[in-house]
Structure 1
């Protein structure tokens, strides 16, 4: 699979990341087969979080791969911290404690990437800096990033944190594309012109921060997928036409739509279906034309000024 550099780091990662939030929906043989297939297809970047299945998903993953030093060297592991029941917590104590729990559940000595999961308005960036430095110096974490953060929040962290922020995981799909559409509706009086994220797309491109789109096939906030959905007839018609031209599935084209953007994004695919996973991976080899990209964008109801 095609690879990109993650942010400003030297870490080469596949352009499609495998999200493990739903791995607890598989039985042990199913989980083993899914992870093995992903590795065989070159999708060796696995995204976790300490809250997925209340930690169970990380344990299931480690058990499925029968984690050992040999297999660990062949994969890239990312996890996220900062969400607690009823609150967000970026305190030094919570970050360090959470990482130790993640490492224990994944049965590994280190994470390749650690993300702060949701912005904590009570964050004291000096504490985050202390936690990151301790984790880096101890070898427990090699690279650091954020999730769901706006530019000013990242800049506040970077004022104190010495490690580069290499990734920002953000909700983005064809139907949830405000970070794209507001940049094309500058100075316009319409819904698409509303900047809901502080121009985070341009900020990440300017600062070489890799955007990792989550829920790349969802509309709304986990309301469902837009593919093969009667609520989106024009969008599915257009995606299916493009898919037929390339001889691939609609899943492949929906993934390729994100990969076509010059921001060099790394979509996080949450499917536990091996066939759909392979379809997503095929998008690595497809480069949509400008006409195809815009036709899909407009078919989703996104307007051009």
Structure 2
């Protein structure tokens, strides 16, 4: 396992991260098998959010590990807040941030988070309130470092102007089948759809400001359409490709990757090429086999770019 120092922190993080968004789908024993397999592979970084399973995922994580101080000190824990899923709006008020972190810590059975991210931008945010919340959480020892998720450069600048602490992370959507943050720069000044700048040059901004980019759902096709590699070998019982146009659309990137790999074992090759594209390193096939309790499925992981970019992957 490769490790690298996370920008502007004293954290040494593994080059793979376990995303915990769907732990609720697993039993305690299955979750334990997954987490411990990740640890055995050298993974020390775990990504959470208070809305994952409405908090149940964090509870399962702690229960599966039988969380205690000695275990806690071996890992990097990151969680997010700011989405009020029941009321269906974003809330970055001081009161909500403080209350959310207390809930996260209780569910994870820990005294502190290594990193707290603001999950989505709040159009009514008061940066000074966020600053007060961050300052209180840091001074109380509840959070070491702070970041954001799905924020534009201007939104980051607006917050950073008031914050006493540097924002070190921005988590955005990025996959080999979803690349608008890259397309506009590559297609600059061309009369094509890809040249439209939809992200305010967030990749360049984060690199210039030493902010680590975390890309969520790097194996996903479109917005919550599911991992596109699942459709790569979608066939009818007769052995032909499915006639479902959704499968054809989602499977297209995987089929192109399969051709690049010389039509080798798609089940292993497609995820590897996806990781290589994001990681710029030798890809290791990962998945989760419940009966063997080991990691061998990549959709449970996130890989980090060797520079200041990381890629979050969820089950």
TM-score by length of structure 2 reads 0.82
Unaligned runs of 5+ in 2: 233-247, 290-294, 307-315
Listed as ranges, the matches of 1:87-236 within 5 Å are 87-227=89-229, 228-229=231-232, 230-231=248-249, 235-236=253-254
Q: Secondary structure at the match of 1:202?
A: helix
The answer to whether the Cα contact below 8 Å between 2:118 and 2:149 also exists between their aligned partners in 1 is yes
Q: Secondary structure at the match of 2:54?
A: helix
Question: Which segment is superposed worse, 42-51 or 252-261?
Answer: 252-261
Deviation by residue 1:233-260 (Cα, 9 ceiling, x = unmatched): 6532442355569995321221221112
- How far apart in 2 are the matches of 1:6 and 1:167? 9
The answer to whether the Cα contact below 8 Å between 1:14 and 1:44 also exists between their aligned partners in 2 is yes
- How far apart in 2 are the matches of 1:114 and 1:70? 21
Q: Secondary structure at the match of 1:218?
A: coil
- How far apart in 2 are the matches of 1:197 and 1:119? 14
Q: Determine if the alignment matches structure 1 residue 257 to structure 2 residue 277.
A: yes
- How far apart in 1 are the matches of 2:168 and 2:44? 18
Question: Compared with structure 1, are the counterparts of its residues 120 and 278 closer, same or farther at alpha carbon in structure 2 (3 Å cutoff)?
Answer: closer
The answer to whether the Cα contact below 8 Å between 1:243 and 1:249 also exists between their aligned partners in 2 is yes
- How far apart in 2 are the matches of 1:50 and 1:23? 13
Shift of 1:12: 1.4
The answer to whether the Cα contact below 8 Å between 1:6 and 1:209 also exists between their aligned partners in 2 is no
Match of 1:36 in 2: 36
- How far apart in 1 are the matches of 2:130 and 2:51? 19
TM-score by length of structure 1 reads 0.84
- How far apart in 1 are the matches of 2:191 and 2:198? 15
- How far apart in 2 are the matches of 1:153 and 1:212? 17
Match of 2:240 in 1: none
The answer to whether the Cα contact below 8 Å between 1:6 and 1:210 also exists between their aligned partners in 2 is yes
Match of 1:297 in 2: none
Shift of 1:47: 0.5
Match of 1:82 in 2: 82
How many corresponding residue pairs? Answer: 277
- How far apart in 1 are the matches of 2:223 and 2:107? 28
Q: Secondary structure at the match of 1:146?
A: strand
Q: Secondary structure at the match of 2:146?
A: strand
The answer to whether the Cα contact below 8 Å between 2:24 and 2:60 also exists between their aligned partners in 1 is yes
Unaligned runs of 5+ in 1: 262-269, 288-305
Q: Determine if the alignment matches structure 1 residue 69 to structure 2 residue 69.
A: yes
Question: Compared with structure 1, are the counterparts of its residues 30 and 243 closer, same or farther at alpha carbon in structure 2 (3 Å cutoff)?
Answer: farther
